[in-house]
Structure formats: C-alpha cells, structure tokens
C-alpha cells in the first residue's frame, strides 16, 4: 500500500483541498442548520406569545360582555319596578365592565422592526394588527363609553332609566366578534392549536409563579381591587340612606 507517499504532489494537493472543502462545508452547513432551528424556535415563541395575549384578551372581553348583559337585565328589572330601585341599585356595581389587560405584548409586536422578518408571514402580521386595533376600539367604544355614562354618582332612578346600556353591549359584541374572527384566522395561518396555547400558558404561569414575590403581589392586587369595589358599594349605599334620611326619595 503506497498511501499518500505514492501519490504525485498534484494529487496530494487535490485530496488535501477536497478534505478542507468538505470540512468547511460541514462546518458552515451545521452552523446554518443550527441557525435555522434557532430562527424557527424564535418565530414559534413570538407567535405563541402574541396569540396567547390575543386569547387572554378575548377571555377578558367576553367577561365584560357577560357583565354588561347582566347589567342590562338588572336595569330593565329596576326601571320596570322603581319601588325596588333604592334597595337594589347598588347591585349594578357588580356588573360594571372593566379591562385590566396590558399592552406590553402589543407594543413589542408593533415596535419591533424585526417582527415581519422573524415571523415571515405578512398576512399574519396584518391580521394581528387588525386584532389589536379592534381591541382598542372595544376598550374605547364599549367599556370606556359604558363607564362614562353608567358610573353616575349618585345615580337617580331617572339616570338609570335614561342610560342606554344595550347600545354599549351591542357595540361591544360587534368588536368582540371581529376580534374573535381575527384570532381564528391567525391560528389557521400559523397552524397554532388551542393545545399549543394551553402548553404555552402553563409554562408561562410556571415561570411567573417561580418569581420571588409574584404570588404575594398578585394577592395584594386582588385585595386592592376587592376593597375598592366594596368601598364604592358602601359609598353608594350611604348616599341612598342619606337621601332617605333627608326625605329626598
């Protein structure tokens, strides 16, 4: 077996060059594969983050719709039975719609110039943007509008009778249905299932719960909200009792 020594200098050079070329191709090829996997993982992470935010927003808006329906039902009952207004009008506070979502994910999505290149689907980006526009419209037209006209203190019977609560419920439903449609379109475009979002949600909550002080902050926030609702209800009741004592009813 002569081996390399039996080869001419030209052949040895070609074999060395071939080995070097193969080594370079393998190195850069492996790096490219790793980079593509990393890009796909980043894309998937961003898509799930955005769609999780969309789903949570829909849940919150759905709860607002349920609250407004309950408010409208109670309003009709109280307007039809004015003798019950003084005793039961405070219950209306339980059904006032409110939104607590943050715009952090929306801001990241809209302000990041790499969003389109990372996700690689312009139609998805446009659909998500349309969803966030509808969410903003829902907040302004339905919830804020309802609060501006429905949070009248002290509320008199005439105020409640004149308040067109169904108008805001209907506006909210139109915005909610549009948001729902954009959400479903986004799921189809990126092949994301409810199960995928459930897994992402569980992992997110696990991370949040592991943060120091996170559970304590959540409990304190919930306590502040509950105390605020109770104080508002107590003040409304005190106003009604004061009007009775002054013979203003």
Model pLDDT for residues 186-211, shown as the tens digit of each residue: 999 999 999 999 999 888 777 666 66
Which tens digit of pLDDT belongs to each residue from 36-77?
A: 555 566 678 889 999 999 999 999 999 999 999 999 999 999
CB crowding 177-187: b at 16 or more within 10 Å, else e = ebbbebbebbb
Which tens digit of pLDDT belongs to each residue from 87-136?
A: 999 999 899 999 999 999 999 888 876 677 778 788 999 999 999 999 99
pLDDT above 80 (res 34): no
Q: What is the mean pLDDT of the chain?
A: 83
CA 185 to chain centre: 16
Q: What is the pLDDT at residue 38?
A: 54
Backbone angles phi, psi at 105, to 5 degrees: -65, -40
Do 165 and 150 meet the contact criterion of CB atoms below 8 Å apart?
yes
- The pTM for the full model equals 0.69
DSSP, collapsed to helix, strand or coil, labels residue 83 as helix
Do 117 and 38 meet the contact criterion of CB atoms below 8 Å apart?
no
pLDDT above 90 (res 78): yes
């Amino acid at each position: 077996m002569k081996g390399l020594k039996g080869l001419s200098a030209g052949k040895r050079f070609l074999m060395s060059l071939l080995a070097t070329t193969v080594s370079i191709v393998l190195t850069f090829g492996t790096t490219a594969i790793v980079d593509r996997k990393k890009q796909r993982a980043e894309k998937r992470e961003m898509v799930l983050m955005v769609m999780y935010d969309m789903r949570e927003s829909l849940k919150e808006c759905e709860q607002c719709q349920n609250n407004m329906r309950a408010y409208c039902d109670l309003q009709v009952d109280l307007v039809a039975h004015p003798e019950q207004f003084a005793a039961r009008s405070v219950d209306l506070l339980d059904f006032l719609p409110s939104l607590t979502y943050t715009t952090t994910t929306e801001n990241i999505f809209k302000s990041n110039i790499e969003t389109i290149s990372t996700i690689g689907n312009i139609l998805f980006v446009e659909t998500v943007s349309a969803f966030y526009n509808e969410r903003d419209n829902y907040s302004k037209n339905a919830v804020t509008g309802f609060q501006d006209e429905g949070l009248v203190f002290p509320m008199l019977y005439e105020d409640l009778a004149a308040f067109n609560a169904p108008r805001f419920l209907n506006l909210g439903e139109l915005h909610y249905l549009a948001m729902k449609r954009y959400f479903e379109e986004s799921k189809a475009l990126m092949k994301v299932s409810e199960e995928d979002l459930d897994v992402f949600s569980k992992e997110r909550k696990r991370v949040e719960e592991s943060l120091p002080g996170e559970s304590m902050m959540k409990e304190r926030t919930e306590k502040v909200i509950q105390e605020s609702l109770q104080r508002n209800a107590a003040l409304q009741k005190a106003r009604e009792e004061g009007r009775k004592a002054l013979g203003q009813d």
